[in-house]
Amino acid sequence: MSRPTKSDRGSETRELILVTAERLFAEHGVEAVSNRQVSEAAGQSNNSAVSYHFGTKEDLVLAIVRRHYEPVERRRTEMLAEITGSPDLRDWMSCLVRPITEHLASLGSPSWYARFLAQVTTHPSWRELVSKEAVSARSMQQTIEGTFRLVPRLPEEVLQERSYMGRLLLVHMCAERERALHEGTARPRSTWESTAAGLVDALVGVWLAPVTARR
Amino acid sequence: MSRPTKSDRGSETRELILVTAERLFAEHGVEAVSNRQVSEAAGQSNNSAVSYHFGTKEDLVLAIVRRHYEPVERRRTEMLAEITGSPDLRDWMSCLVRPITEHLASLGSPSWYARFLAQVTTHPSWRELVSKEAVSARSMQQTIEGTFRLVPRLPEEVLQERSYMGRLLLVHMCAERERALHEGTARPRSTWESTAAGLVDALVGVWLAPVTARR
């Protein structure tokens, strides 16, 4: 084995910082944790290691998101190819949900990514940053377009609202499952696959629910 | 006007602490704020004012919840009397949602209670404390029973999951609306009544969604 080069050590440090920050943000929220605390918890003697390797806290949060992005995007692209033109909303909800639940399953336990996303989603400014990133993915765009083709004509505010409800359910149900797995309780569902099935059913229910006439 | 008695001043102090704690917890999360910080922000020269008036942080959180409890419980009891035996799930969802949205509307803006609940709900131990309190209310029990009579036969884990999804949507959509109102943006809905209508529609959708056969 050759000696690790300076650039190997740099990328190991980056990785260590990413993993540490993800866990701390998942446990305490993004606002509650400083770059300095992340550097310390990652065992860096230099308190400005985060700034050196990533820049601002925004850059760090985006780097955590992008780390999980590629496998999710790849899986969703595969799944979309299998359902081209499907008239079944369930297929499109599956393309939304399963790339994420399968990725989370592949991480083993404890993972922190779902709880990290739940924390990020609870604060409007962080949520906007991350959802802009997520929605810009080509596979996500196609999934949204496929969904909108199949839902009944909805007033714009209802469309926005149900998109938001879908994100809420997806993020928080995955976070709850990840936490239950970590803590050794089996609630609310016993496998990632049954979590996905429950989410797909519920999202189809939300999208197809009749809209009460407005007063 | 007579001079305020010592007991008037005590109850004013309690009220001031409750309002201050609710806002701080809503903004930063329950874990991130200490009793000492609440005492200081409430302008108490004695740093242990919270402990003196309420006891532990748990007692303080429950006192905040109970402060909003009575008008919600009263309104729900009235609404239940109007729909006795209704076969329409929408009526029962309305009994779940509207006592809360109407109470939030009555608070004016800025209110903090919905965001406080969203923060409390993000942490499992605080969530359990608060949901035990909420579910124990007689009107809530009747609403749950009425709902369960009208939903199709569901496996126990799906029943648990959909109850949890319903709470998630209720709490987070109200928090989002409260925040939007506070920040002067109109998203995602323009009134508390339309927020309630959107929630009732979505909850009916979730409860009546067909369940995918499990593999």
Closest CA to A90 of A213, A210, A203: A203
Tell me the ipTM for this assembly. 0.89
Buried b (16+ CB within 10 A) or exposed e, A51-72: bebbeebeebbbbbbeebeeeb
Q: Is B23 helix (H, G, I), strand (E, B) or coil?
A: helix
Tell me which residue in B118, B197, B209 faces A214 most closely, judged by beta carbons. Answer: B197
Tell me which residue in A168, A212, A214 faces B168 most closely, judged by beta carbons. Answer: A168
Domain that holds residue A53: 6-208
Give the mutation candidate from A161, A181, A195, A215 for the B interface (greatest B CB count, under 10 A).
A161
Q: In Å, what is the CA distance from B155 to each residue of A93, A187, B126, B158, B213? A: 22, 13, 27, 5, 11
Give a yes or no: residue B173 inside a domain.
yes
Give a yes or no: residue A214 inside a domain.
no
- Give A147-187 pLDDT, tens digit per residue: 999 998 899 889 999 999 999 999 999 999 999 899 887 66
Residue B80 has pLDDT above 60, yes or no: yes
> For residue A210, which residues of chain B lie inside 8 Å, CB to CB?
201, 204
Give a yes or no: residue A1 inside a domain.
no
Averaged pLDDT for residues B84-89: 96
Give a yes or no: residue A191 inside a domain.
yes
Determine the Cα–Cα distance for residues B155 and B94; give it in Å rounded to an integer: 24
Give a yes or no: residue A215 inside a domain.
no
Give a yes or no: residue A103 inside a domain.
yes
Residue A35's domain is classified under what CATH number?
1.10.357.10
In percent, the amount of chain A with pLDDT more than 70 equals: 95
Give a yes or no: residue B4 inside a domain.
no
Partner B contacted by A208 (CB < 8 A): yes
- Give B110-136 pLDDT, tens digit per residue: 999 999 999 888 777 788 888 888 888
Give a yes or no: residue A195 inside a domain.
yes
Count of domains in chain A?
Answer: 1
Residue A1 has pLDDT above 60, yes or no: no
> For residue B158, which residues of chain A lie inside 8 Å, CB to CB?
198
Q: Which of A30-39, A51-60, A148-157, B199-208 has the highest mean pLDDT?
A: B199-208
